[in-house]
Chain A
Amino acid sequence: MPDMRFAPPNPLRIADRASGLNSLSVRSHNERLVLSLLLQNEATTRLEIGEKTGLSAQTISVIVRSLEQEGLVVRGAAQKGRVGPPTTPLMLNSEGAYSVGVSVGYRNTHIVVVDFIGNVQHHRVMPHRAADTFDAPEALALEIHQAIAGLSESRQARIAGVGLALPTPPIRSGPDHDVLHRHLEAELGLPVFVQNDITAAAGGESLFGTARQLQDFLFFYLGARLHGRLVLNHQIYNGNSPLSYDVGVLALERALPSGSTLAEKLWGEVPSWPPMGPALAAWQQACAESLIQLTQSLLQFIELKTVVLSSFVPTEICEALCSLIRQEIPSVSAVVGRTSAAPKAVGAASLPFSSRFMVH
């Protein structure tokens, strides 16, 4: 029998000097374990990775070295601890990977490009010709091409893929989800990942936002309607739920006097809403009541500490809703999501990262 010890070396990850991202197939489970930890924490050490994954120091050393060479991970400066020798933190290289996120909403389609830690590099809004319709897959492919062209050539080689956040049930008169998926993949030559838009927004908040370090939280998305998702141990439950509550921006729009020019302002990206009189206060109260009721009903079953409210509406409105929740349920910390302006599109952009780099 041959002595396998002296067969030619068969590296787990060959010392790779190529630039750009390695192909999909070679990323091992252990490597994904390490990347998951790095994506979920701002900085970590090889010791912490070992403690959390059970991998040996030498296995981690090999993986971290290959991730460093690939440009996905960088070392921070050594930090002197209170006791013991200094530790060298590891963190994601923000320029190590990029991702495109697209969300098709009620009135607008958003296109974003984010870096590896979720900073938005590019944001474009494509208004729909009519609300609740989307019929421009060719124009969308063109917009994505342009978004990618805005990156330098070396960064373009580091695009992990395109995430597509689509509503359930599908928008009227839009192309079938599968058709759109295949069309974009063929047009762009990049892997395209599709997810329910609310689930994507929750995922984005979990990976890039306020909830980054949180294992468990209740997520609300306030859009045309109000939607919820429960995240336990970083897993999002009932990801395709079509259930939503009619206390969103659409309800507010209806409550405004007919023919009012205020309605237009509701859907745009504005720092604050103009005064709207009693309609706004009434809507805010109704919306808060829904949020509180939904949170309370869940609290019967699960001990939740955090509620994250994500929305494109002005931060001050979200803050007001959060403080109403906190007033009513003091045991819960209600916070505004960080991925504002286009939470669903940023969430969509987190999809290629989670699909390609994390354990499931």
Chain B
Amino acid sequence: MTRTVLCFGDSNTHGQIPGRGPLERYRREQRWAGVLEGQLGPGWQVIEEGLSGRTTVHDDPIEGALKNGRTYLRPCLQSHAPLDLIIIMLGTNDLKRRFNMPPSEVAMGIGCLVHDIRELSPGPAGHDPEIMIVAPPPMLDDLREWESIFSGAQEKSRRLALEFEIMADSLEAHFFDAGTVCRCSPADGFHIDEQAHRQLGEALAQEVLAIGWPDA
């Protein structure tokens, strides 16, 4: 039996290299989803769905409606179903100045995605899949040239983990705080580097296995 994991995220799931342009990306085996697949070993398939600039539920007035995680999630789930586990790591882009969102509202956006997943039930045999909410690591204070876009987001980013955990508790979903195992790179203050990808992928493998999978 092969179990399928969908990793739904933003540039940090895409594997964008900190401080470089949007076209420069870590290789699959360097990215956290690739590390996760390597750690889980045979019997697991890990699908990456990481889009740079993706928000939880907002059309981006500048980058475009395509950055809205909510509208893309449904066709994405149906494309990849049946899915055993969906890992959502989003929220950083919701903290951009243009959205003016407090951390609690970002968590509400995550909650929307969880509801949408459960409405579609893209798990095995039409059941609900397992859902894991991952809070991104907090931003560093120095965001370099991104300061104007994210202005004020640094402080909010430190409160995402608690708001996400409250949402995960409330909706009964798995939760992991990436900030407990890795940090953002000083190269731009909000992307994670190769070492952080590895730390995150390894920690998530433990979390995924700890869920407890019958006759895996």
**What 1/0 mask marks residues of chain A from 13 to 50 whose CB sits below 8 Å from any chain B CB?**
11100000000000000000000000000000111111
Q: What chain B residues lie within 8 Å of A323 (beta carbons)?
A: none
> Chain B nearest CB: distance from A68 CB in Å?
11
Q: Is A150 located at the chain interface by the 8 A CB criterion?
A: no
Residue of B nearest to A65 (CB): B175
Q: Which of B112, B168, B212 interacts with A46 by CB under 8 Å?
A: B212
A199 at the interface (CB under 8 A from B): no
B41 within 8 A of A: yes
B172 contact set on A, CB distance < 8 A: 12, 56, 58-59, 61-62
Q: How large is the interface on A (under 10, 10 to 19, 20 to 34, 35 or more residues)?
A: 20 to 34
- Chain B CB within 8 A of A277 CB: no
Interface residues of B in 139-175 (CB under 8 A from A): 162, 165-175
The B89-135 residues at the A interface (CB cut-off 8 A) are 107-108, 111-112, 115, 130-131
Per-position binary interface string of chain B over residues 194-212, scored 1 when its CB falls under 8 Å from any chain A CB and 0 otherwise: 0000000000001001111
18 contacts between A and B (CB under 8 A): A6-B112, A9-B108, A9-B167, A9-B169, A9-B171, A12-B169, A14-B166, A45-B210, A47-B213, A57-B130, A62-B175, A75-B210, A78-B209, A84-B216, A85-B41, A85-B209, A86-B209, A87-B212
**Interchain CB contact under 8 A, B212 and A45:** yes
8 closest residue pairs by CB, A with B: A47-B212, A11-B169, A9-B170, A46-B212, A15-B165, A11-B170, A88-B210, A61-B174
Residues of chain A contacted by B162 (CB below 8 angstroms):
15
Q: Mark A254-291, 1 if CB is under 8 A from B, else 0.
A: 00000000000000000000000000000000000000
- Mark each residue of chain A from 90 to 130: 1 if its CB lies under 8 Å from any CB of chain B, else 0: 00000000000000000000000000000000000000000
CA distance A290 to B187 in the complex (A): 80
Apart from A10-B170, A85-B213: 7 A-B pairs, beta carbons within 8 A: A9-B108, A56-B172, A58-B131, A62-B172, A66-B169, A84-B216, A85-B40
CB–CB B111/A9 < 8 A = yes
> Bound complex: CA of A62 vs CA of B114, how far in Å?
15
**With a CB–CB cut-off of 8 A, which chain B residues contact A65?**
165, 169, 175
Is A61 in contact with B211, judged by CB distance below 8 angstroms?
A: yes
Interface centre among A13, A47, A48, A66 (most CB of B within 10 A): A47
Flag whether B214 is at the interface (Cβ < 8 A). Answer: yes
Instruction: Knowing A50-B212, A57-B211, say if A62 contacts B130 (CB, 8 Å).
Output: no
Q: How far is the CA of A61 from the CA of B211 in the complex (A)?
A: 7
Interface check A5, CB cutoff 8 A:
yes
Q: How far is the CA of A51 from the CA of B166 in the complex (A)?
A: 26
Contacts of A66 in B (CB 8 A): 169
